[in-house]
Amino acid sequence: MLSVRTSCIISAFVLWVNEVCGIIASYSEKNSAQRVYQGLVELQHRGQDAAGIASLSKEGFVFKRGLGEIKEVFSAHSFGEHEGPFAIGHTRYSTSGGSTSIDIQPFYNPKGAALAHSGHLHPGAWMRAFNNIPGQSRVDSNLLLQFFIQHLEEEDALNEGNFFSKIVKAVRSIYQQVKGSYCVVCLIANKGLLVFRDPQGIRPLCFGERINGENNKEYLFASESHFFQNLGFNLQEVRPGELFFINTKGELYRQVLLQKTHTPCSFEYVYFAHPKTQLNGVLVEKTRQHLGRLLAQQWQEAYSHLNPDFVLPIPKTAITAAKSFAQALQFDYRDYFEVDTTIGRSFIQAEEQQRYKAVQQKLSIKSEKIKDKIILLFDDSIVRGTTAQLIVKQLRALGAKAIYLVSACPPIINICTYGINIPAQDELLAVNHSNDEIKAYLEVDELLYLKKTHLHDTLSQGSKLLPCMRCMNKVV
């Protein structure tokens, strides 16, 4: 009998709260905080637990932070021009622990810095010095801020050079000692904006610039790029191990400090990223279309004798791959789900009960279309099986004749230590269970996963990249 544990487990050795999120930073002589707010709205799919914005002017910092989604925390008229030319923002998706006001980013250090971080830092000796500061958040991002300030102060005391050279040395210390995934935006009082990405480039980070109507340069950084063009920014991607600094005069400095093998997260392509975002020079939408065509080849090889009445994607991430899959096989494609867009993404809910409730509230099926039909249900991935199990039960109750389930991702069989909320192996449906056992548990007639080699070869771009697929590989 297949048993899947449904409670969220946090291992005893984890002493720090970690999170992967959406970040944004802006430099503009006017309305930087407003632009950061607009960008956070576009990044809402990356986190819905909490949000915060920090802006910096000659007068100092202004913070706006709160629990909930972006439009619950802020309104479009929350920001004024007095808030300065620099601003950073953060939307939080907690990968362990709860959401409390003390953990809302950007974090502040009274020595004159505010920092927001997307990623997940591995426990290390450097953390312990900052882990028991009274009244301080134990979120890894806050510990990183304290570590950075400490090293910046050391450089300030020892180095008579310019400020950029001091920042370079402080960030190099981070690269040498801090393991894990991290994209960071940081405001430094009286100095400017610092941005950097970890040497492996695990989490995405984009950079844009434009000339405004007053012939001044403006800069924008964000976790994703799908909204850059609408705002008129030229797009680049921050390279792994690259540092940017913009001073109070608007002068930009950039330098690659350390590069290792580029290992972008595979799950960004499969689930997290917006389809119009560009990752490593390729639209996520095009990647998902290609994966759909590869799955069509797999279906033809394994199940050419089966002919569903239609392909039914589980909204919304699966839609792109499902359409290309159906088109390649000349299967009918149907969109019979009604989606309540006020309900957030189910996968990034912190607890199993919340995920189950989110699926129930978010999706409803046009019941009259299901009776006596053979349905090919298409999902972006199967992690815990929460969404698939609930929807299959609904389809069965509505009279579906047969249900085939296809996943545009290989089986998830390992925890993620780089920021995706997969904290315990015993939560994972595919761990230690055969396809037949999973089919019985989900009550589907057939089950097809994307081959791991197909995902790897698609994302590696001819050996240019080595995509991180840790969650799809067994620990050796």
Residues serving a catalytic function are 21
State how far the Cα of 460 lies from the Cα of 263, in Å rounded to an integer: 9
Please, how many CA atoms are within 13 Å of residue 286, restricted to the half-sphere of its CB?
10
Which residues, other chains included, contact 451 with Cβ-Cβ below 8 Å and sequence gap of 6+?
294, 298, 410
Three-state secondary structure call for residue 381: coil
The per-residue b/e assignment along 314-332, b for 16 or more CB within 10 angstroms, e otherwise, is: beebbbbbbbbbbebbebe
Which residues, other chains included, contact 329 with Cβ-Cβ below 8 Å and sequence gap of 6+?
296, 299, 300
How many CB atoms within 10 Å of residue 434? Answer: 10
Three-state secondary structure call for residue 411: coil
| Pairing assessment for the beta strands 86-94 and 60-67 based on DSSP bridges | unpaired
Catalogue the long-range contacts made by 254-259 (C-beta closer than 8 Å, 24 or more residues apart): 255/168, 257/168, 257/171, 257/172, 257/175, 257/196, 257/199, 258/172, 258/175, 258/199, 259/199
Three-state secondary structure call for residue 445: coil
3-state secondary structure 221-268: EECCCCCCHHHCCEEEECCCCEEEEEECCCCEEEEECCCCCCCCEHHH
H or E, element range at 289: helix 284-303
* Nearest Cα to Cα of residue 224 among 291, 297, 283, 147: 283
Three-state secondary structure call for residue 17: strand
Radius of gyration in angstroms for the set of CA atoms belonging to the chain, rounded to a whole number: 23
284-303 vs 452-460: helix crossing angle, rounded to 10: 150
* Nearest Cα to Cα of residue 376 among 388, 363, 384: 388
Phi, psi of 397 (to 5 degrees): -65, -25
Three-state secondary structure call for residue 424: coil
Which residues, other chains included, contact 26 with Cβ-Cβ below 8 Å and sequence gap of 6+?
32, 33, 35, 36, 39, 86, 87, 88, 218, 219, 220, 221
